[in-house]
Amino acid sequence: MRLTALALACVLGFVVVAPETYAPARYRAGTVPGLPAMVVGGGQVILELAIDRGGRVTAVTTLRTTPPFTDLVAGAVRDWQFVPAAGPAGAARGGERQPQTAVPSKVLVAAVFRPPAMNAPTLGEPGRDVAPASAESAFPLTTVMPPFPPSAAAGGVVLLEARVDRSGQVGETRVIQSAPPFDDAALATLKQWSFRPARVRGRPVSTVAYVLFGFPVPVGSAIKMLPDGRR
């Protein structure tokens, strides 16, 4: 007689465990950093935020630093507010899904600033890794620098949210804070990134990461600005 999976589990004394669900923390409010003045190079900053059950940032850990961008980005994200992550209140038993509750979590924020030179060597201090990411946040493995839109008349910073699936691929992306005409370039670039997936309780989970793209006006650009902001 063929036993079903459930019957076999009962015979062997196993408990069928329902898959645990996890909802990552999501950005609720906050400001983006501005573009620093008189910077001769570009760079990357990668931070990991610790978020408490109330959605507050309790710690900012620098994973990759490029002065002077690191202090600028870290200072901005310290005041961000989140909808807290939600996870099972306890271990699943008897195949029953446990109710979810707010849980502490980690959120990755990556910032990429274009160099102000279009076709010249990048100057300034190179970025360097200073700490490893925890398993709880997705970490970028492949990053791409966005192009500078030819229609842009000034600089800008775009904040995006990326859904990172269990395999580390970028799925749905959306603009959190817009800076036209840079949004399309930022979205297209983020689609080319890949991540090491996040893991919660030892299992890969779908999560979100936040990416800032900074677009300074290129040095030597033919763009001329009038006092009222028109070209």
Contact indicator for 90, 98 with CB cutoff of 8 Å:
yes
Residue range 70-122, pLDDT digits in tens: 999 999 999 999 999 998 865 555 555 667 899 999 999 999 999 987 654 45
Which residues share a beta bridge with 65?
A: 128
Please state, rounded to an integer, the average pLDDT across all residues of the chain: 84
Compute the average pLDDT of residues 205-229: 74
Domain boundaries, the chain: 19-87+99-215
For position 63, what pLDDT does the model report? 98
For position 91, what pLDDT does the model report? 55
Contact indicator for 166, 226 with CB cutoff of 8 Å:
no
Residue range 4-14, pLDDT digits in tens: 444 434 333 33
For position 119, what pLDDT does the model report? 56
Distance CA 69, CA 50 (A): 20
Residue 139 tokens read as: 């970490």
- Cis amide leading into 227 (omega within 30): no
Give the right CATH number for 19-87+99-215 from 3.30.2420.10, 3.20.20.70, 3.40.50.620, 2.60.120.1130. 3.30.2420.10
Residue range 160-209, pLDDT digits in tens: 999 999 999 999 999 999 999 999 999 999 999 999 999 998 999 999 99
Residue 163 tokens read as: 């859904």
Q: Where is 111: in which H helix or E strand?
A: strand 105-113
| pLDDT band at residue 124 using 50, 70 and 90 as cut-offs | low
